[in-house]
């Protein structure tokens, strides 16, 4: 599923409750103790606000009205005590809430990353990584806001409000009822404003994720941006997005801030009404003014938490969009997860057998149409064919990056669909055409092949991969940090590091996508030597471009438009003057296979229509040993 599409749906109130309930049910139990402490501290803060307001009554009545000196000490002591208590419990409350909030964010980040690691390549094929990263970033902080708002507003403001309203009712139930007359218009105003704010907020989330994604992609592709002088175009595109986001944010401010004058005016009515009625009543009844002061103090103290709670819904809406987007990703079922009855793969010899393998990336275009062949144990099988024939797809399928439509892939007789992914992938070392280096040192990057590899093993692997020498020339040797994706290293050096990573893995099966470009003769020779050493004694499937790899392979599989059209050893295939292989071979005239590949494309087109009509004596020799 594309994460962008689902964003357009609206959040109805029942979904909002569902999201909040889900977040609570997933997280509440974990933090029971912290919540108990936080709520207890909040109760003390809330109660102390009520007590402060309550103390106004004896203060006014006993000290100022009845002028009893003894009460000065009692009241002042009580006020001091309440402030100390409120300060301490406020501290405990804030720390506990922050701990819960931070830990929840950390947990969502971990869950998100774990889930992303489980999702199949098909998810990444459909999703732009820049947008994904930007969305995760925005959404996780949105979740923190949601939690901060719900937890702190509900815990702190609600409890304070309850304490203060309790004091108000205790002091003067009639006046309290007068104040509550402003409730209904306030609720109506909040509902109106949050309806208006909803659609604008959604637009801002979309715009921001688009904007951040576009910025990230521009930075990642900076070399291309400069080479094609795309700066002005990108500046205009991003400038437009920034302008739109700014406009929408201003709109949000304009709409949401309407709550300020509305609540101020309503509060003005409440305070004026209370004073008018209370003052009038005091004149008539000659009551001591303490209760009235206490009431007004509680009313004024209640104003801030009440206003914050009224605004809660506005912010809540924005964060709910974020929370929902997080769940949209977390709810995607990983496609290639282990079957419930999956068993570990046991590789004894390492034979790989393709049996009638059919596959397509999408329903529309089948890519493989019944592929049959065997990569014999401990031998090298070279796969050749024109661009788009399906060679890389075969390599992806052996690693179970996608599920087959029909057929089986067997390793030592075990169907890879029924074994655990971890055991399968641990039995394989993969060297891609474009090596990828991760953040960390050179040694770290080799160690990704096998986390428990010792330093001696890493050095030995680097020596075999012909990388040891250049590593020692780096400023800090094996401890030199590599730049982003190894930009500080040459193409050949990166390749050799990725070969060292594969060597250190020490897996019985090797999948190799031969690099053809970006290497000068010298580094190509070194990379080739490195590959030769790692291929010894391992079942190797290599997407072969170099003539030497093809000629020396134990078995050659010729692919064309998703089918195996010929297979056998070089000598057998070349002996048939009409074989596609012979034609390929003649075409290259001693040149590198990449040249042949290009010539094939020129001659027979990318789909290989012409070649498929050629006589193919070797066709359908699936299972024949090299």
Ligand X SMILES: Nc1ncnc2c1ncn2[C@@H]1O[C@H](COP(=O)(O)OP(=O)(O)OP(=O)(O)O)[C@@H](O)[C@H]1O
Q: Which residues of this protein are in contact with ligand X, per CB under 6 A? A: 125, 361, 367, 385, 387-393
Structure tokens at 338: 């282990």
Q: Which residues pair with 481 in a beta bridge?
A: 441
Query: How far from the centroid of its chain's Cα atoms is residue 60's Cα?
Result: 60
Task: Indicate the residue among 574 and 601 with the shorter CB distance to ligand X.
Answer: 601
- Would you tell me the crossing angle of helices 32-58 and 70-118 to the nearest 10 degrees? 160
Q: How far is the CB of 342 from ligand X (least distance, A)?
A: 25
| Contact present, 400 and 336 (Cβ < 8 Å) | yes
Nearer CB in complex with ligand X: 19/596: 596
Report helix, strand or coil for 258. Answer: coil
C-beta of residue 341 within 8 angstroms of C-beta of residue 530: no
Shortest separation between residue 119's beta carbon and ligand X, angstroms: 14
Considering the complex, what minimum distance in angstroms separates the CB of residue 596 from ligand X?
12
Report, in Å, the least distance between residue 610 CB and ligand X.
17
Tell me the closest approach of the beta carbon of residue 597 to ligand X, in angstroms.
7
Residue closer to ligand X by CB (options 104, 557) is 557
Whole-number minimum distance, CB 304 to ligand X, in Å?
Answer: 55
Q: Which residue, 348 or 606, is less far from ligand X as judged by CB?
A: 606
Q: Least CB distance from residue 486 to ligand X, whole Å?
A: 22
> What whole-number distance in Å separates Cα of residue 611 and Cα of residue 232?
46
For ligand X, the closer of residues 213 and 385 by Cβ is 385
Helix, strand or coil, per DSSP, at residue 143: helix
Q: Which CB, 287 or 387, lies closer to ligand X?
A: 387
C-beta closer to ligand X: residue 128 or 447: 128
User: CB of 5: closest distance to ligand X in angstroms?
Assistant: 18
Nearer to ligand X, 30 or 126 (CB): 126
For the CB of residue 391, give the shortest distance to ligand X in the complex, in Å: 4
At residue 213's C-alpha, the angle toward residues 209 and 216, to 5°, is: 145
Helix (H) or strand (E) holding 374: strand 366-375
Q: Of 237 and 369, which CB lies nearer to ligand X in the complex structure?
A: 369
Take residue 132 and report the two structure tokens written for it: 């994904």
How crowded is residue 387: how many other Cβ atoms within 10 Å of its Cβ? 12
CA angle 154, 308, 317 (to 5 degrees): 75
Least distance (Å) between residue 512 CB and ligand X: 13
Please enumerate, as own/partner, the contacts of 603-610 that have beta carbons within 8 Å and a separation of 24 or more.
Answer: 604/386, 606/386, 606/387, 606/388, 607/388, 607/561, 608/385, 608/386, 608/389, 608/560, 608/561, 609/561
Residue 466: C-alpha distances to residues 217, 439, 469, 600 (Å): 34, 22, 7, 33
Q: How far is the CB of 541 from ligand X (least distance, A)?
A: 12
| Beta pairing class for 563-568 and 555-560 | antiparallel
Q: Which is nearer to ligand X, 3 or 52 (CB)?
A: 3
Q: List the 539-543 sheet strands across, edge first.
A: 428-431, 509-513, 539-543, 380-385, 555-560, 563-568
Q: What six digits make up the tokens of 622?
A: 């699936």
Give the residue with the Cβ less far from ligand X, 388 or 449: 388
Can you read off the two tokens belonging to residue 143? 């979740």
- In angstroms, the CA 596 to CA 590 distance is 9
Nearer to ligand X, 310 or 547 (CB): 547
Q: Which two tokens stand for residue 612?
A: 């498929």
Nearer to ligand X, 367 or 556 (CB): 367
Contact of 205 with 244, CB cutoff 8 Å: no
In the block, which residue shows the tokens 């509900």?
154
Instruction: Supply the minimum distance, in Å, between the C-beta of residue 471 and ligand X.
Output: 30
- Kindly write down the DSSP assignment for every residue of 568-587, as one continuous string: E-HHHHHHSTTSHHHHHHHH
Q: Which residues pair with 385 in a beta bridge?
A: 559
Rounded to a whole number of angstroms, the minimum distance from the CB of residue 531 to ligand X is 18
261, 307 contact by CB (below 8 A): no
How many other CB atoms sit within 10 Å of the CB of residue 173? 9
């Amino acid at each position: 599923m594309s994460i962008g599409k689902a964003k357009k749906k609206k959040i109805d109130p029942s979904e909002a409750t569902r999201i909040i309930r889900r977040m609570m049910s997933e997280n509440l139990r974990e933090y029971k103790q912290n919540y108990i402490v936080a709520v207890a501290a909040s109760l003390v803060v809330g109660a102390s606000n009520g007590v402060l307001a309550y103390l106004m009554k004896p203060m006014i009545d006993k000290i100022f009205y009845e002028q009893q000196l003894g009460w000065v000490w009692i009241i002042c002591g009580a006020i001091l005590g309440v402030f100390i208590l409120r300060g301490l419990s406020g501290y405990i409350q804030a720390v506990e809430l922050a701990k819960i909030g931070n830990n929840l964010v950390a947990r969502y980040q971990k869950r998100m990353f774990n889930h992303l690691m489980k999702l199949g390549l098909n998810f990444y094929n459909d999703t732009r990584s820049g947008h994904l990263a930007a969305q995760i970033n925005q959404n996780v902080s949105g979740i923190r806001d949601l939690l901060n708002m719900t937890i702190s507003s509900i815990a702190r403001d609600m409890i304070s409000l309850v304490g203060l309203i309790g004091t108000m009712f205790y002091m003067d139930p009639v006046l309290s009822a007068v104040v509550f007359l402003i409730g209904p218009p306030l609720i109506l105003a909040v509902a109106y404003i949050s309806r208006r704010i909803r659609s604008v907020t959604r637009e801002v989330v979309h715009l921001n994720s688009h904007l951040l994604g576009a910025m990230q992609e521009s930075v990642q592709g900076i070399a291309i941006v400069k080479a094609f002088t795309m700066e002005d175009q990108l500046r205009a595109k991003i400038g437009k997005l920034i302008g739109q986001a700014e406009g929408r944010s201003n709109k949000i401010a304009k709409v949401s801030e309407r709550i300020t004058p509305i609540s101020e005016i309503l509060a003005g009515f409440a305070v004026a009404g209370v004073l008018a009625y209370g003052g009038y009543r005091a004149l008539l009844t000659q009551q001591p003014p303490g209760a009235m002061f206490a009431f007004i103090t509680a009313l004024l103290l209640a104003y801030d938490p009440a206003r914050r709670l009224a605004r809660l819904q506005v912010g809540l809406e924005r964060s709910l969009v974020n929370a929902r987007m997080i769940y949209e990703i977390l709810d995607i079922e990983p496609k290639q997860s282990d079957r419930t009855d999956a068993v570990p793969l046991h590789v004894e010899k390492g034979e790989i057998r393709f049996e009638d393998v059919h596959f397509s990336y999408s329903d529309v275009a089948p890519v493989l149409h019944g592929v049959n062949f065997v990569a014999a144990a401990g031998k090298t099988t070279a796969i050749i064919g024109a661009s788009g024939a399906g060679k890389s797809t075969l390599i992806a399928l052996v690693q179970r990056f996608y599920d087959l439509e029909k057929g089986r892939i067997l390793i030592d007789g075990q169907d890879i669909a029924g074994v655990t992914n971890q055991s399968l992938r641990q039995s394989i070392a993969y060297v891609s055409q474009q090596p990828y280096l991760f953040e960390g040192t050179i040694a770290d990057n080799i160690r990704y092949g096998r986390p428990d590899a010792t330093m001696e093993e890493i050095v030995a692997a680097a020596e075999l991969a012909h990388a040891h020498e250049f590593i020692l020339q780096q400023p800090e040797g094996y401890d030199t940090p590599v730049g982003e994706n190894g930009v500080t290293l040459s193409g050949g050096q990166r390749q050799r590091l990725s070969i060292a990573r594969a060597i250190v893995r020490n897996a019985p099966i090797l999948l190799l996508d031969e690099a053809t470009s970006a290497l000068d003769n010298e580094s190509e020779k070194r990379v080739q030597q490195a590959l030769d050493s790692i291929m010894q004694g391992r079942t190797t499937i290599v997407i072969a471009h170099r003539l030497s790899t093809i000629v020396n392979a134990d078995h050659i599989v010729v692919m064309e438009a998703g089918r195996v059209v010929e297979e056998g050893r070089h000598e057998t295939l070349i002996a048939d003057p009409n074989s596609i292989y012979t034609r390929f071979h003649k075409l290259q005239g001693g040149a590198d296979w990449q040249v042949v590949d290009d010539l094939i494309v020129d001659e027979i087109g990318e789909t290989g229509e012409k070649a498929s009509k050629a006589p193919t004596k070797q066709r359908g020799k699936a299972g024949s040993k090299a």
